[in-house]
Amino acid sequence: MNIIVDMGNSRVKLVAMHSARVVGEHIAEDATREWLRDVVAQYSDAHRAIVSSTRGDAEAVAAMLGELGLEVLCFRPGVTPVPIVNGYLTPESLGADRLAAAVGVDALYGEGNKLIVDFGTAITIDYVVDGVFRGGNISLGMTTRFRALRDYTARLPLCGATEQQLPYGRTTREAIEQGVMQGITYEIEGYISAFMQEKAKKYIIFTGGDAKYFAKRIKNAIFADCEPVIYGLNRILDYNAEIR
């Protein structure tokens, strides 16, 4: 059994996996020593762990897991071996979540080219082509766009996601809602249109907290009910055990 710790911008997720299957999931704002101890104690068969962070404090959490008797891998893109080729020119600056998602998607869907769209605080659009992580683009996430309109204007209200699909807003609130939601939709549809022109087997995978809002709006996409980042981190942990 493996322990996967994914430390994102707003929360920490600890997942227990056995034979690439999730058997337990726990979420907290911070990975405190007490929280880690209490959660890990529930999985007596766990012997290995991997820690990934976009916050920069992965080593401290890895040390605490080590104190609990686990063999711990601290995932660092550009340093930690991964089972796909990393074609990013600056691997030291690559977000761990982006590379882990690429590994997870490549393992889940097998042969073919993949376009991965992660709808989070930022929207990342990444490509795995011929088993190589090629890189991608980063733009503002949905909630970040709504907050920016409120924070950087004098009179616009803070709005949020909507299920409505209108050609144009009839009120200021509708204009903001449709502007953000439709703006993201058209943005991603542009990436998909270019991607679909390639002559190869293709997969378009949506993931992240806000993916559910766009899976209904955009055709041709697979809404990943499993989490590619978690699956990828588990695969990276197993891969490093295999090559030792």
- CA dist 117 → 114, 125, 209 (Å): 10, 5, 11
Distance CA 236, CA 239 (A): 5
Distance CA 214, CA 200 (A): 25
Distance CA 5, CA 19 (A): 17
State the DSSP H helix or E strand holding residue 203, giving kind and residue range, or none if neither.
strand 202-207
Distance CA 71, CA 76 (A): 16
Is 30 one of the catalytic residues?
Answer: no
Q: Which of 6, 97, 118, 126 is catalytic?
A: 97
Distance CA 49, CA 108 (A): 21
SS3 assignment, position 148? helix
Q: Any idea which residues carry the catalytic annotation? A: 97
